[in-house]
Structure 1
């Protein structure tokens, strides 16, 4: 074990050791009608999106949706095929403009941290400070390591550090040149699940202290909700919805957006007398005309099971204990597919099979069907 590991044994120690982060000159970064093609494949489709100065913006979406391509275009590693990019209101990439990566003042933190294995931690952090004299670069790098609680590891090499420590070194290196925008490509994906919460919290605190504008790519909705001031949801190269975590969770633009933030039961419904009626009975009000067909998304936490109550009859056909909650699968007359419910563990006795099923209106989201779907 490295000699410095005792001083870095816990996240609490790290939090105590860290000093305040140096302030960056945060700038806005705007994508204006950005498109990108590779051969006949359209990777990005008319993306218009901006990160404001000092904001943490999360790009969220499944693998292959175009999130990393957006970062590469912002960093200048790739050039978009249409549209333009503005940094602090100044065009840095457009039909007749292309500012090279080294002149943009944009930092990029890779998914695998990209630390140089043959360099010490200090040399890794000061690698990009080529404009400073040696003593000044060392001083800046040591200050950056102090901000992430790793100044005692300055003479160590990357392979001697844990994944969480390597992540903090990569963050220190990215912030040391004081970029106006920091781009982070799934920076926590390689971390042990036990470390993620602590490292994400530390990273967010450092970004806040640095007043840095940050764009973070993730495919994890909970991570985006924890980190982002706003979230941009991307699907197949298109922007689906932008807003705060609360906005996207409570008012998703479509079924895809709803399903990205919650596990769902999906039911067919029909409007009758101003109410949406399903096999579970009326579930929501609707302004649509009678006879309109709708799609009903019901979060698993909104399917309530009880021994006696108002509702419809159901039978538990499977259940799994998940610690805080029981995950139960329930067959309901009139539905071809069973529904799933998450309820606090032990609320429904383990030997109980027959239940009364009701819904919590707060967990119901109704989507109008497109004409082609009706």
Structure 2
């Protein structure tokens, strides 16, 4: 995004525009089957008014299916969808998508190529007279800094600008809940950070409740008030990003939020013993075998200040950081570490490593 566009969006965010009456969204014990396969397994979660909730997980985890059920595009096998206390899908009936007060934004933006930018944004405002609809569409375009593009066609816009038009179209009817499916996946890495930040600013300004689907843990942490981590159609863990990162409920959760080394450990005398250090394990039984995880960023490597001897096998310079693989006695696989660049002399081979007890994560095997 060039400086002019960034400045336009920033000034647009300073404008006062009509806000959304944010709604709550509850999914109660949602089950979904497709061709005899269980795709969503008893998921219950709720988004509070004005909250940004990210559905995070790998492909096939059920996150997009859950979003489509909330929108009314897909029908659950059992369970209920409740918006602002009103059941919109469940045993007592079904409310079609257009009457749920939700906005939808997909990863391909789905802009109509034969309509201008203004006409695209005005498309969902059919209940308003033409002049009012155009005025509301212009307000939505001002929010995202693209009012000057109103007469242009989508093909004349960059990918980032098309994303912002799609956001304006979704927000124009002032939905109580905005549902976003991988909204930034089509952008190149240079644009993602700025467009994400701009989108979050618009969501805060309009006070919309937002459910955002993503497979990118860093993206979820940048955007979300809370994150719901899914895997194989089940809810693995839900909470603030710092809570899930610091206290992952499973080895899967630990590995999804950061690169980790995985090794075995055994409980002895209330502690788990590993080749890189020990930590308290009083919640587990004596002699129990455990899975142990250590983040690659939690490993301190030095020439002589560590506690465990190691040998550098490979070293890759990545600018700000270096990635190392190290041989450590007792480990079948090399230990991976990410350290600050130029921290070690270039000719270092024999080094020491140190891991703090609190950085050793333990899980049932």
Instruction: Classify the TM-score, shorter chain.
Output: over 0.9
Q: Structure 1 residue 280: deviation in Å?
A: 2.1
TM-score (norm: length of structure 1):
0.94
Corresponding position: 1:130 with 2:120? no
Distance 1:237 1:21, change over 3 A: farther
1:315 to 296, 311, 331: 311
In structure 1, C-alpha distance between the alignment counterparts of 2:18 and 2:143, rounded to whole Å: 8
Greater CA deviation, 349-358 or 222-231? 349-358
Say which SS state the counterpart of residue 277 (structure 1) adopts.
strand
Q: Identify the residue that residue 244 of structure 1 maps to in structure 2.
A: 240
Separation of aligned partners in 1, 2:276 and 2:359: 14
Equivalent residue for 1:356? 352
Pick the aligned partner of 2:331 from 324, 332, 335: 335
How far is 1:356 from its partner? 1.1
State the match for 1:218 in structure 2: 214
Residues 110-141 of structure 1, C-alpha deviation per residue, up to 9 Å, x if partnerless? 11100000100000000111111111111111
Given that 2:105 and 2:166 are in contact with CA atoms closer than 8 Å, whether structure 1 keeps it comes out as yes
- Aligned partners of 1:227, 1:173: CA distance in 2, in Å? 20
**1:310 positional shift:** 4.1
> Residue 9 of structure 2 is aligned with which of 11, 14, 23?
14
Q: Displacement of 1:289 after TM fit?
A: 4.0
Aligned residues: 363
Q: Specify the alignment match of 1:266 in structure 2.
A: 262
Residues 1:188 and 2:184 are matched in the alignment: yes
Is 2:71 the counterpart of 1:67?
no
In the alignment, which of 31, 43, 50 is matched to residue 46 of structure 2? 50
Structure 1 residues 37 and 157 mapped into 2: Cα distance closer, same or farther (>3 Å)? same
- Could you tell me whether the CA contact under 8 Å between 2:5 and 2:145 is conserved in 1? no
TM-score under structure 2 normalisation?
Answer: 0.96
Structure 2 SS opposite 1:200: helix
What is the RMSD computed on CA atoms of the aligned residues?
1.4
Segments of 4+ in structure 1 off by > 6 A?
Answer: none
Alignment of 1:1-374 (within 5 A): 9-18=4-13, 19-282=15-278, 284-287=279-282, 288-369=284-365
Assess if the C-alpha contact under 8 Å between 2:277 and 2:355 holds in 1. no
Counterpart-to-counterpart distance in 1, 2:103 and 2:262: 42
Q: Which residue of 2 aligns with 1:372?
A: none
Alpha-carbon distance change, 21 to 327 in structure 1, aligned in 2, over 3 angstroms: farther
Give 3-state SS (helix, strand or coil) of 1:313's partner: strand
Flag structure 1 segments of 5+ consecutive residues without an equivalent: 370-374
Could you list the per-position Cα deviations for residues 203-226 of structure 1 after superposition, in whole angstroms to 9, with x for gaps in the alignment?
111111111010000000000001
Question: Is 2:28–2:79's contact at 8 Å kept on the other side of the alignment?
Answer: yes
